[in-house]
A = this chain, B = another copy of it.
Amino acid sequence: MKIKATAFAPATVANVAAGFDVLGFAVAGIGDRVTIVRDEAVRGIVVDRIEGVVTELPTDPDRNTASVAAASLFAAEDERGGFRLSIEKGIALGSGMGGSAASAVAAVVAANALLPQPLAVEALLPHAAQGEAAASGAPHADNAAPCLLGGLTAIVAHEPLRAISIPTPAGLRYVLVRPDLRLDTREARAALPAELPLGIQVEQAQYLAGFLAGCFRGDTALIRAGMRDLIATPARSRLIPGCDEAFEAARSAGALGAGIAGAGPSLFAWVEGDGALAAIEQGMRAAFEARGLATEAWSGPIALGGAAVEAVG
């Protein structure tokens, strides 16, 4: 019987292009780590320790996204042991970089490694989404899907929840810039319109179709034309100081497009090849820094692996 498992899950960017609540991609080099240890002396899951860049998260196992996610999997697989869970947060709270999804995904991946017969990775998504619901109030999975599967993903159904991988051209790179500013996910969601004019839905669907076709065909001109969002971006950009200037800086430095990462305030851009990467990053950071905001940044290829077990035994 496996006693202890540790899993790492990456930061992710959701609301990519016209894929509001649909498209997301995984980021390298930053994420959350969850360790789960069997302990017959406890009942259910005990949240032992939260350390790293965020510590003010609930340790109540019914409210912690990692323990809720692990408990959902254990319950579904009839695994009744007691467990201690600890979280090492690498992703800042309210950054738009999928921190709650990463904790939930790392927890289900670690929990899965402790099962006598671990499930296929795709089957873990609904449990991760349960964990996210504990944090956000609704089981959105557009961060959890790329976190689990890596690369670019699309949610294609929600009952039952299903995500698929979307191919991307090999030369595609992302830039992700986080301003030192915390945006409340609920506030960012409240900024969204409750209803959309039908014409906006149609135009957004046209961009989504073009963006996806560009990804499948490896046609960066189509991807560029489809990197538009008429729903979340117009509603949220005013909540983020320097947002429009950062978008403009990214595009004028050669980005295919830019957008708000999840609910913000982090911003991302996509670009073909490495040539313009540094200039895009510098331009986006400068837009925030002109508003007196310190920044961190990451960049790399789009098609990277998702969450992984780091140790089990």
| Chain A residues close to B by CB (< 8 Å) | 18-23, 154-158, 162, 164, 166, 192-198, 201-210, 212-213, 216, 222, 225-226, 231
| Inter-subunit contact A198/B192 (CB<8 Å) | yes
Closest to A164 in B: B213
Distance A244 CA – B171 CA, assembled complex (angstroms): 47
Give every chain B residue within 8 A of A18 (Cβ-Cβ). 205
| Inter-subunit contact B20/A222 (CB<8 Å) | no
Closest to A212 in B: B212
Nearest-CB distance from A130 to chain B (Å)?
18
| Inter-subunit contact A212/B213 (CB<8 Å) | yes
Distance A198 CA – B191 CA, assembled complex (angstroms): 12
Given A213-B154, A213-B166, also A205-B205 (CB < 8 A): yes
Nearest-CB distance from A191 to chain B (Å)?
12
Give every chain B residue within 8 A of A158 (Cβ-Cβ). 203, 206
Nearest-CB distance from A133 to chain B (Å)?
15
Closest to A195 in B: B195
In the complex, the 9 A-B pairs of residues with the closest C-beta atoms, listed nearest first: A156-B210, A216-B216, A195-B195, A154-B209, A21-B202, A22-B205, A212-B212, A155-B206, A201-B201
Distance A142 CA – B311 CA, assembled complex (angstroms): 53
Give every chain B residue within 8 A of A156 (Cβ-Cβ). 206-207, 209-210, 213, 222, 225-226
Distance A207 CA – B212 CA, assembled complex (angstroms): 13
Given A194-B197, A201-B201, A202-B20, also A157-B207 (CB < 8 A): yes
Distance A18 CA – B162 CA, assembled complex (angstroms): 17
